[in-house]
Amino acid sequence: MKKTFLLSLFLVFTLIVSACSSGSSTEEASEGSSSEGGGDKAAPLDIFSWWTGAGEEDGLKALIALFEEKHPDIPIENAAVAGGAGTNAKAVLASRMQGDDPPATFQVHGGAELNEGWVAAGKMEPLNDFFEAEGLNDKFPQDLIDMVSKDGNIYSVPVNIHRGNVLWFNKKVFEENGLEAPTTFDEFFEVADALKAKGITPLALGDKEPWTATHLYETVLLGTLGAEDYGKLWTGELSFDDPKVVEAAETFKKMLTYINEDHASRNWQDATQLVANGEAAMNVMGDWAKGYLVNDLNLAVNEDFGYVATPGTDGQFMVITDTFGLPTGVENPEGVKQFLSVLASVEGQDAFNPLKGSIPARVDSDVEKYDQYGKDTIEDFKTASLAPSLAHGSAAAEGFLTKVNQNVNIFVTQQDVGQFTDSLVAAQAELK
């Protein structure tokens, strides 16, 4: 399974690099290009994503239903590709983009995945005029617009915000054992020791797909370094052999001594389910896990499960944003803009996000449509220091992320901090 996964990642990386080398530069992109305006206004829109799981699929279907209600004359198709937590979809997308057969629009994370991948390859149209016409420039936080922009042009529309640095815990397990949710690493290890002494697995991990271990590692980096120094890792201003980064690796190693033995055969949903069932007490995962807990497992927020920021990250927000843009060369660019308009609207974001488990990217959505987790997270997002996720492609280019995933995967098994540090230092050289 891991071999297949790595081969898929390699295919994605190879196709993106190939696309980058053959595509036009960002500077060559300009609004008013041949794919904007005109086109076949009756051509169907295939909406490409990897949203096929509970919650996320419900949110996408709600968004598509809203579009069909507003634009019954434009055919629309859910072209989601299942499997591999997006890896399968990204491989299919890379193949289509390389073959000049782009979907009408596709799910892409804001940050490096968008800007250093498809924008740098000349595969996306700028949307500055669209943002101006729709009055969107003051409807999203500027930091978020910056994540979907390159060289002064905006290339994508955020539909949501996910928080990556969330520690989920089973409330009954904690209450029965007289424990409080940990907010620091010292508290985490005290709680973990108490749980372990009672025969309860302290921390659930499902790293059948390697990104989940990278996800845990990046939250430890954020909790150890803070958002500012965490950001310096991706610009090369802070080395992976810095003492604080090595300290984070040591903490990550210690946390791995508290995980379930069968972690390598489980995915993130399986790990979340261990917490839901009380077989494990805690899990570090993005808040799509809340959508899974509520929509798939029928559990209640703050009754069956609780949540806190991962150790050391209170006041910081590991941000992951799903966005959609306008690929170059699509058949119906005006139809795509109509879809993006619905997606960007208050009505669209409030139809999608409560089901997906995320919060709206807009600053003026209706808070009352969200549960207590959503309300708390919307408030946190207003004031927290933002940090782009590495594990989800926002912090650094795909090639670097692939190497990190490989090295984290090795580290989970061998737990050699020196070797891990050396390998990341070597990989970091390509960021400079």
Confidence category of residue 291, pLDDT binned at 50, 70, 90: confident
pLDDT of residue 30: 39
Summarize pLDDT for 235-244 with one digit per residue, the tens. Answer: 999 999 999 9
Q: pLDDT category, 42, cuts 50, 70, 90? A: confident
Cβ pair 50, 103 in contact under 8 A: no
Exposure string of 48-81, with b = 16+ CB inside 10 Å and e = fewer, is: bbbbebbbbbbbbbbbbebbeeebeebebeebbb
Quick one: pLDDT at residue 13?
A: 44
**Measured in Å, how far apart are the chain's first and last C-alpha atoms?**
33
Neighbours of 123 (CB within 10 A): 23
| Closest alpha carbon to 387 in 220, 246, 252 | 220
Q: What is the mean pLDDT of residues 48-56?
A: 87
Average pLDDT over residues 79-100: 88
Residue 12: predicted pLDDT: 45
**Three-class DSSP labels, 418-432:** HHHHHHHHHHHHHHC
Indicate whether 4 pLDDT > 50: no
Q: Identify the pLDDT of residue 297.
A: 93
pLDDT averaged over every residue in the chain: 90
pLDDT in tens, 413-426: 999 999 999 999 99
Query: What are 307-321's pLDDT values in tens digits?
Result: 999 999 999 999 999
Instruction: State the pLDDT at residue 26.
Output: 37
Q: What percent of the chain has pLDDT over 90?
A: 81
Which residue type does 141 have? P
pLDDT digits (tens, 9 = 90+) for 123-162: 999 999 999 999 999 999 998 999 999 999 999 999 999 9
Residue 274: partners with Cβ closer than 8 Å, 6 or more residues away:
201, 204, 260, 266, 280, 283
* Cα gap 298→255, rounded to integer Å: 29
